Chains A and B, each alone.
Chain A
Amino acid sequence: MIGLVDCNNFYASCERAFQPHLNGVPVGVLSNNDGCVIARSNELKALGIEMGTPAFELQHLVRQKRIVLLSSNYELYGDFSARVQSVLEEFAPQVERYSIDEMFVRFDGFDTATLTDHCRTLRWQVERYTGIPVSIGVASTRTLSKLANRAAKKIPAYGGVCVLDKDGPATKGLLQRIELGDIWGVGRRLVERLNLMGIRSAWELRNAEPKQIRRRFSVTLERTVLELRGIPCIEMNDFDEPRQRIMTSRSFGKLTGDYGEIHEAIRQHGQRGAEKLRQQGSLARAVLVFLKTNPYRPDLAQYSPSLIVELERPSDDSRAILHAASQALQRIYRPRYAFMKGGVMLLDLIDTDRQQLSLLDKPQNADERARSEKLMATMDELNRKMGRGAVSLGVPTPGAAWHLRCANRSPRWTTRWEEIPKVRAL
């Protein structure tokens, strides 16, 4: 059996750990630069405020003290996520992180009855140790455990723990009520095509003929059908392959037309992107740079250009990527526009091991590649050991336009000595 542990309203729960006065209050967490809502407490959901709502549309509710909006505090969330994972590891030998707030846990050798008790204890323990409430769904496959988790969260009678028997009546009842779009890995376009075949619920998909599904759709969807029947055939990484593109972008803290500031922001994004690239072991073939003016300011001239520069050969060298990005920026930049956002996307990635030597390769290029690899590895190592930004190409100016705006970030309570919570002795 495999369980999916999902932290309830994770960001909001982390914020509440040291701010109990936020319990029961509608809390929202904002994206980078305080742009829009990316996480909501149940109370905020109940007010009908959707994900992605721009923060400025909610300012009147903040002023009336009816809701609280916080800047994102990723250091805090990252620490709590690690704590939850380590409590889970005390209970189960195999814990795989699926996202910042979801973890797959293997429960082998339990029968259903003891498993339910075990999961209740686990749920209680995670909340007690870390302060983070979780829901647990357990079933014989990952696809079903995702659905069980949803039920554990949405149906109060389950009390946060739902264990599904392979062919039990509860499983059938649940699948009949679940819409296709709520199944792991089934996207909107797939739903439309399935609907045309007369398949509308998870139960109907479960009963579809796997071979036919494979012929008409894909092996992946065939696996989903089998998983719904309780036959495990999806590994976690099937939906989590190395990404085919890497995007790093962010709103500038203010509108800016200054070439120097924009150039610096683009270099930062390029550098961060190159780091991600090396982390996942890929090379990029091309670099896309884009700029955007503010579409909500019709009084200002609009200009949102983008440009792709192809690299001489696939590369993960920050210098090559920054060089390409700078070239692109030079060509798209026009003075007298107020830009709101800029970013770098690394495109057409390939595996580092599978790179083909370019026709222009000469023996000295091999030396150069080895030197570059060494330099980048040293840079990444230093940045990992001494904190991001310890070594970079060119030093960013503090207070530059692209720096994050995070007006309302709570302290990084668990990761900075200067910011640990203060408690009064009374």
Chain B
Amino acid sequence: MSILVHAALAPRPLALPFPETLIRAGLSGFPSPAQDYEGRTLDLNERLVKRPSSTFFMAVTGDSMETFGMQDGDILVVDRSLEPRPGQILAALVDGEVIVKRYELIGNRPYLCSGNPRYAPIPLGNCDCQVWGVVRSMIHEYPV
């Protein structure tokens, strides 16, 4: 019991060696106060990749990405586990190729729309037009 009280009353947050923290927490059954300070860094993976097993990275190229706010070489974080909703940017299978389009409803019917007026909207759900994944975020690196 005295170990328990001691550990709780005298926290030495950053100086406390890691193994000791674990042992005390294990013995007492209470979380160590030092635990709050362990491993506190910001992890971009945690922020951008919600489900690693279904997340894929792709590099964007093409002539109408400006409308989508993309630039050549930007990296798309594509999540296959998401249910697509209108307004979202998708990676889609069109004619045997994976391309980037925006998912929109036109008169209650689903379409894949282009950022470039030269390309007509494609009705979604044909056999040669399927959703591959939902673009969750985009990474742009500036030259430094």
Contact = CB atoms under 8 A, between A and B. Distances in A.
Given A129-B54, A131-B80, A425 B65 contact: yes
A414 B56 contact: yes
Given A87-B53, A87-B54, A129-B51, A422 B100 contact: no
Contacts of B96: 20-21, 23
Interface residues of A, number: 23
B99 to A, nearest CB: 5
A127 to B, nearest CB: 10
Nearest to A84: B53
A242 B51 CA distance: 34
Interface in A1-52: 18, 20-21, 23
A426 B93 contact: no
Contacts of B65: 425
A20 B96 CA distance: 5
Interface of A: 18, 20-21, 23, 83-84, 86-87, 90, 128-131, 413-414, 417, 420-426
Interface string B88-115: 0001011011111100000000000011
Contacts of A84: 53
B19 to A, nearest CB: 21
Nearest to B100: A425
Interface residues of B, number: 33
B58 A129 contact: no
Given A87-B54, A422-B58, A425-B63, 12 more contacts: A20-B97, A83-B52, A129-B54, A129-B80, A421-B58, A422-B61, A423-B60, A423-B76, A424-B63, A424-B100, A425-B60, A426-B99
Contact of A83 (B53, B61, B64): B53
A81 to B, nearest CB: 11
B119 interface: yes
A130 B54 contact: yes
Contact of B81 (A18, A129, A421): A129
Contacts of A129: 51, 53-54, 80-81
B80 A426 contact: no
Interface string B19-32: 00000000000000
Contacts of A413: 56
A366 B15 CA distance: 40
Contacts of B137: none
A332 B31 CA distance: 65
Contact of B114 (A20, A131, A421, A426): A426
